[in-house]
Amino acid sequence: MAGPDYSFETAWHARGITQVAGVDEVGRGPLAGPVVAAAVILDPVRLPAGLNDSKQVSAKNRALLAAELTKIATVSIAEASVKEIDALNIRQATFLAMRRAVEGLAIAPEALLIDGRDIPPGLPCHAEAIVKGDGRSLSIAAASIVAKEARDALMRQLDAENPGYGWAQNAGYPTKAHRDALLSLGVTPHHRRSFKPVHNILYQENC
């Protein structure tokens, strides 16, 4: 299967819109940690080799690409906190993180390419939702890599501060080791209380 290309961006350029940002998020499924979004405007004459859906890129290459993108592209990273996830729900919190990433771009985008089926409300410009966009659009692929690198780094930091849950390895996702640690060590302030496995433990503790 062919990887992502620049055709979605080129289609916007043909309409006279030059500042096109790809937007993606990571961290909808974990039991702990924020949801992180990134927005990236690529320079069409300096497209990094090897851009792809972050899940298709090795950890080493993701780190190299993320570092390169911060030097040659316009990059913004934002998050929605665990408290915001619990207050809003994960879908609305994801939209919030995406809006924050777009608003944080140093160059105002004229169009957005959003990974997935939904376009977050309240965006400042044209937006196009692209299903499986991180494997189809280079800008969205770039955003997926930047967002994953940022969130993984954050979860490694939280792992050092909260040992035992394996966040450096599982990034907060509900692996068996993480779920076992929840039962033996309990719930931290970084856990999403609105997510069923965490909620159930808290409910049992309060019974």
- Is 165 within 8 Å of 188 (Cβ atoms)? yes
Number of Cβ within 10 Å of residue 82's Cβ equals 25
CA 114 – CA 174 distance, rounded (Å): 26
pTM here is 0.95
Burial 15-37 (b: 16+ CB within 10 A, else e): eeeebbbbbbbbbeebbbbbbbb
The string of pLDDT tens digits covering residues 140-188 is 999 999 999 999 999 999 999 999 999 999 999 999 999 999 999 999 9
Please report whether residue 12 resides in a domain: yes
Find all residues with CB under 8 Å of 81, minimum gap 6, and list them. 34
Please report whether residue 11 resides in a domain: yes
Burial 102-128 (b: 16+ CB within 10 A, else e): beebeeebbbbbbbbeebbeebeeebe
Please report whether residue 200 resides in a domain: no
CATH at 138: 3.30.420.10
Please report whether residue 169 resides in a domain: no
Q: Which two tokens stand for residue 202?
A: 């808290």
Query: For all residues of the chain together, what is the average pLDDT?
Result: 96
pLDDT for 2 equals 79
- Is 127 within 8 Å of 119 (Cβ atoms)? yes
Q: Which two tokens stand for residue 34?
A: 């924020």
Please report whether residue 129 resides in a domain: yes
CA 117 – CA 145 distance, rounded (Å): 19
CA 101 – CA 162 distance, rounded (Å): 27
CA 159 – CA 157 distance, rounded (Å): 5
Please report whether residue 181 resides in a domain: no
Confidence of residue 14 (pLDDT cuts 50, 70, 90): very high
Q: Cα torsion for 37, 60, 173, 122, to the nearest 10°?
A: 10
> Where in the sequence is the domain holding 65, given as residue range(s)?
7-151
Please report whether residue 170 resides in a domain: no
The string of pLDDT tens digits covering residues 79-138 is 999 999 999 999 999 999 999 999 999 999 999 999 999 999 999 999 999 999 999 999
User: 3-state DSSP call for residue 29?
Assistant: coil
CA 178 – CA 115 distance, rounded (Å): 28
pLDDT for 202 equals 85
Burial (CB < 10 A; 0-12, 13-18, 19+), residue 163, is exposed
Please report whether residue 36 resides in a domain: yes
Burial 44-68 (b: 16+ CB within 10 A, else e): eeebbeebbbbebbeeeebbbbbeb
- Count up the domains in the chain and report the number: 1
